[in-house]
Amino acid sequence: MNTEKAYAAYLDQQDKLADFRHEFYIPHDTIYFDGNSLGLLSKRAEQAVHDIVESWKTDAIDGWTNDDQPWYYLSEKLGAMTAPLIGAKPDEVIVTGSTTSNLHQLTASFYKPAGKKAKILADTLNFPSDIYALKSQLKLNGFDPAEYLLQVESEDGNTLETQNIINAMTDDVVFIVLPSVLYRSGQVLDMKTLTREAHKRGIPIGFDLCHSIGAMPHQLSEWGVDFAFWCTYKHLNAGPGSVAGLYVNRKHFGQEPGLAGWFSSAKEKQFDMAHVLTPAPDAGTYQIGTPHLLSAAPLLGSLEMFYEAGIDNIRQKSLELTQYLIELLERELTDYSFTIANPRDTATRGGHVNIEHPDAARICKALKADGVIPDYRRPNGIRLAPVALYNTFTDVWDTIQILKTIMIEERYKFFENERGIIA
């Protein structure tokens, strides 16, 4: 492997996505490798917010119907723009709510306990918010989570075995929620196989796409996945607190949502003000309240870039960036007790690299002090996410050299090995 900086520059020259970097506001003198927590602001997302504010200023209430981008249909338009990223049909996707509120909605809609078949299957490596939501839904249904929430264990603390998940699909399981990509290790689960096996047993299954959407393609409709949900502020670059999204396979259209609300209605019936809901005939029925326009608007600009770049091209560059990072780590930092904790093969590696070290928290602080923005995850994980739309191979090379200098000079010892309030 060529470890010279000139080789990184050569790779950047071959990069057909390179021009998208200029679309983003990149903090000065910073290598930003935390896009799997919060993506950077793009000029198009900024303009989209400005346009919505202007329409509010000039159109007032008529902005719901008269604007070039009518607010009344914004969630549906953004859903259609998102659909190609996950292999869905436009009417199967809606931009609404937050990750956790959407999981509550989908659980309320698809978790249907019947007699002894009442348990929910998840895993021990999932993001805590999903587990909190599932436990609260069990309690609302009168079940003790200690007994009715099954969590597949990891054999190595970082990854999950497909067969272990399948083995846990027992006769008493009625509902399954799993991550598409594990947030710590970056492992991609075999969603196609897991969906097929769940359906053999008559169990609806859904996936949390927070760490995969915008970083890799999916084929949810082709695989027959029942539902999915995600945030939009990571790889989709829609900004802090931006409106989330959900997918429901069209085979489930026609049923009422578990949690109905104002925007669950069919559009043409919504303003009839009837006290009997006429559900929207598509994924839109899983909305609850009025769209958060100012928090959804950035997606208009961001999703344009995904359309232009192509999700397959984004995935290809993402894999090349993470592979380059892994290879440099193995060549340059073998003497410093780092362990690469994510899968090496491309089929099961997501959009970030997770390296473990006993001094991970203080190393992250040292990196940040030297202009590299990483992400720390307890107990000893350093997540580095080179994002295809705005990071470069030179960013990767520079990061490894900075990290090597930190370790050689022991700069990390100037910091406490404890996380900050937000890690």
| Rounded CA separation 106/278 (Å) | 18
Cα dihedral 136, 139, 144, 148 sign? negative
Is 242 within any annotated ligand binding site? no
Is 393 within any annotated ligand binding site? no
| Rounded CA separation 305/200 (Å) | 38
- Please state the φ and ψ torsions of residue 360, each to the nearest 5 degrees: -55, -45
Ramachandran sector of residue 89 (left: φ over 0; alpha: ψ -120 to 50; beta: rest): beta
Catalytically annotated residue among 20, 33, 207, 233: 233
Catalytically annotated residue among 119, 135, 349, 383: 383
Is 127 within any annotated ligand binding site? yes
Is 370 within any annotated ligand binding site? no
Strands 173-179 and 119-123, how do they pair?
A: parallel
233 is catalytic: yes
Contact 75, 238 (CB under 8 A): no
398 is catalytic: no
The label of the residue with tokens 């597949």 reads 152
Catalytically annotated residue among 127, 132, 143, 336: 127
43 is catalytic: no
Is 334 within any annotated ligand binding site? no
Is 221 within any annotated ligand binding site? no
Cβ neighbours of 4 (radius 10 Å): 9
Contact 155, 161 (CB under 8 A): yes
What size, in residues, is the chain?
423
Is 374 within any annotated ligand binding site? no
Is 230 within any annotated ligand binding site? no
Is 110 within any annotated ligand binding site? no
Catalytically annotated residue among 119, 135, 184, 234: 234
Is 290 within any annotated ligand binding site? yes
419 is catalytic: no
Is 99 within any annotated ligand binding site? yes
Tell me which residue of 303, 307, 261 sits closest to 285, measured CA to CA.
Answer: 261
Catalytically annotated residue among 67, 91, 123, 208: 208
127 is catalytic: yes
Annotated binding site for pyridoxal 5'-phosphate: 99-100, 127-130, 208, 211, 233, 262, 290
Annotated binding site: 99-100, 127-130, 208, 211, 233, 262, 290
Q: So which residues are the catalytic ones?
A: 127, 208, 233-234, 383
